[in-house]
Amino acid sequence: MNTKLAAQTVEFVAASSALNDRLMGEVQQSRSEKSAAEAKLQGVLDLMVSTGSVSPHQKQAAAGMLGNHSQSLDLLVNAINKMQSYKQASEKSASDLGQAVSEKEAGFNPKSKPQDSLSSPYVGRRSSEKKASDLAILAVLNSPSS
């Protein structure tokens, strides 16, 4: 019997066995990761529908996208881009101008009584109404002693 051939056969069987064990370990790990992802799939879909990220009629298409790793990463990239655009829109720099808001949004509650120049929240506002200074002048002009 050829001892060299027998030794090579034993080495081949040992290498094949080690490779087979390694591949089976990766298959088991892949299956466990896939089952864990499938367990979370329904919860993620329900969350996407409840937050309005996905319409109810698109739920099946979203499930298909989440089942495919490449398309799941596409969804993740789109979500990150959307969050970044919201973040940039919400940040203001010192050079940004403000926006006009209604009196209600500004927290200004107009009083039921008419406002004069002393009670108006707008300093120096032009008005056709009589001001406190006008009343003083009119009191002198309309004096009965003149």
pLDDT for the residue numbered 14: 94
For the chain, the first-to-last Cα distance in angstroms comes to 146
Percent of the chain with pLDDT strictly greater than 90: 20
Q: Is there a domain that residue 105 lies in?
A: no
Q: Is there a domain that residue 94 lies in?
A: no
Give the structural domain span for 13.
Answer: 3-86
Q: Is there a domain that residue 141 lies in?
A: no
User: For the whole model, what pTM was predicted?
Assistant: 0.47
Q: How deeply is 29 buried, as exposed, middle or buried, from its count of CB atoms within 10 A (0-12, 13-18, 19+)?
A: exposed
Q: Is there a domain that residue 68 lies in?
A: yes
Q: Is there a domain that residue 121 lies in?
A: no
Question: What totals of helices (H) and strands (E) does the chain contain, helices first?
Answer: 5, 0
Helix 69-90, helix 59-67: angle, nearest 10: 110
The structural domain count of the chain equals 1
Q: Is there a domain that residue 55 lies in?
A: yes
Q: Is there a domain that residue 69 lies in?
A: yes
Residue 116 has pLDDT above 70, yes or no: no
Rounded to an integer, what distance in angstroms lies between the CA atom of residue 20 and that of residue 8? 18
Residue 113 has pLDDT above 70, yes or no: no
pLDDT for the residue numbered 111: 57
Residue 127 has pLDDT above 90, yes or no: no
Question: What does the pLDDT look like over 13-71, one tens digit per residue?
Answer: 999 999 999 999 999 999 999 899 889 989 988 998 898 888 889 888 888 888 888 88
Q: Is there a domain that residue 144 lies in?
A: no
